[in-house]
Amino acid sequence: MKDYKSYSNPLQERYASPEMLYLFSPHKKFTTWRRLWVALAESEKELGLNITDEQIAELKANIDNIDFEYAAQMERKFRHDVMAHVHTYGECCPKAMPIIHLGATSAFVGDNTDLIVMKEGMEIVRKKLINVMGNMKKFALKYKNMPALGFTHFQPAQLTTVGKRACLWLQDFVLDFEALEFAHENLRFRGVKGTTGTQASFLHLFDGDHARVRKLDETVSAKMGFDKVLTIAGQTYTRKQDTRVLAVLAAIAESAHKMATDLRLLANLKEVEEPFEKNQIGSSAMAYKRNPMRSERVCSLARHVITLSLNPYMTHATQWFERTLDDSANRRIGISEAFLAIDAILELLYNITDGLVVYEKMITKRVMEELPFMATENIIMESVKRGADRQEMHEVIRVNSMEAGKRVKMEGESNDLLDRLAADTAVPLNKDEIMNLLDPVKFVGRSPEQVDQFITEEVDPIIEKYEKLLGMDVDIKV
């Protein structure tokens, strides 16, 4: 058989960043296992068990000294990943070997590492989301006054502004950020719970001293950076925690998909486009095309994250009693891919929002094509002020509007409603007077003020709190 290159996950090859990839790497996983074993041994010693400083020093000195090939041999032998790595650690820590994993079960390293990785993953997501929000804030403020045609049902509606529309997207991310903060702050460590969560093995080690067992749980958790610890656990932490975390990632994906979809539609309208590089090719056949490929990729990856969020619901729902192992393979794939994909999405969004191209004349052109229809109520009111009958004016404008609409839709011609009304003797306004009623700024309501209020009251406090996280470099691979 030919030596073909083995499969590689596209999230690794094409999309996710090095920092998020490392977070789910074997090195991160198994060095974290070792850090947990160090924290356990240290805490057990501090609480009176017969563990020496020499043993702990040996453990600390070898955290990064992992023989992955030997570990693989041990796993083939034992058919158990944790025991394989206990023996691998023991090979380079012979003095400490007798006390590695003392009193613990596999979930001590497995589950607690998953929680550490998810917590750090949420911190990476937070950093990138803050930077996306920072770009969007600048964009919204820059274009807060610029009138644009609003759409409902993707049909022309009343005017908004380019900046106000951007705030619709930004508001979704603000809500997502609040959920992310809650999930991060309330993630609970499994801690030191023993085989079925009863802490029986540790109670035995500490001669029935409940206070020291409880202190051990708290101490190890604190050493690993957690101030909140599950009081109740089975063999594993409740998989409901996975549900909460992936639901937040799915919510960010949901917001990203909505925004990217809007950008794709705006690109079709030739109003706003994502950045397009000098040598970028939009289509292999159609050289003139500027496909919104980054936004399309955001939508594609977002759908993946949203579907992955269903896994933890089903996993938790089907866990039996203190635990079953049918969660393992599912979680290895689902949790990592959700974080890797949302990481890629946020890098794409940062790139997009850092260079959005706004075609102001095209936006104005579309506004002016539709504004005559929207201005008819103002024309009626001004005509009434000049002595016209309101009902008669309504009928005059209705008839002329239908004719102008027919001209646009049936004949492909420009909207001549204003010319029709100026020429109609029943309308007591000339062309200039009518045009004075058509300043687009008069039709955007409180859009600019809403942008200012939203940014000041809801966005700025978040960005100011995490100002040190602002600034990042992204490398969109393909």
Nearest CA among 103, 107, 109 for reference residue 88: 109
Residue 8 appears among annotated catalytic residues: no
Helices and strands counted in the chain (H then E): 21, 4
Kindly report the backbone phi and psi dihedral angles of residue 214, in degrees, each rounded to the nearest multiple of 5, phi listed first. -65, -40
First CA to last CA distance, the chain: 31
Cβ-Cβ contacts under 8 Å for 343 (sequence gap 6 or more) = 15, 16, 17, 20, 124, 125, 128
What span, in angstroms and rounded, lies between the C-alpha atoms of 127 and 298?
A: 18
Q: How deeply is 435 buried, as exposed, middle or buried, from its count of CB atoms within 10 A (0-12, 13-18, 19+)? A: middle
423 C-beta neighbours (distance < 10 Å), count: 12
Kindly report the backbone phi and psi dihedral angles of residue 389, in degrees, each rounded to the nearest multiple of 5, phi listed first. -85, 130
152 forms beta bridges with 155
Angle in degrees, CA 414, 418, 420, rounded to 5: 90
Q: From the candidates 27, 204, 283, 414, which is the catalytic residue?
A: 283
Q: From the candidates 6, 8, 153, 284, which is the catalytic residue?
A: 153
Residue 153 appears among annotated catalytic residues: yes
Ranges of H-type helices in 79-205: 81-92, 106-142, 162-185, 200-205
Kindly report the backbone phi and psi dihedral angles of residue 282, in degrees, each rounded to the nearest multiple of 5, phi listed first. -80, -35
Identity (one letter) of the amino acid at 257? H
Ranges of H-type helices in 237-387: 240-269, 293-308, 310-317, 328-353, 360-374, 376-385
Spatial contact of 126 and 180, defined as CB atoms under 8 Å apart: yes
H/E stretch holding 159: strand 155-161
Q: DSSP 3-state assignment of 190?
A: coil
User: Which positions are catalytic?
Assistant: 153, 283
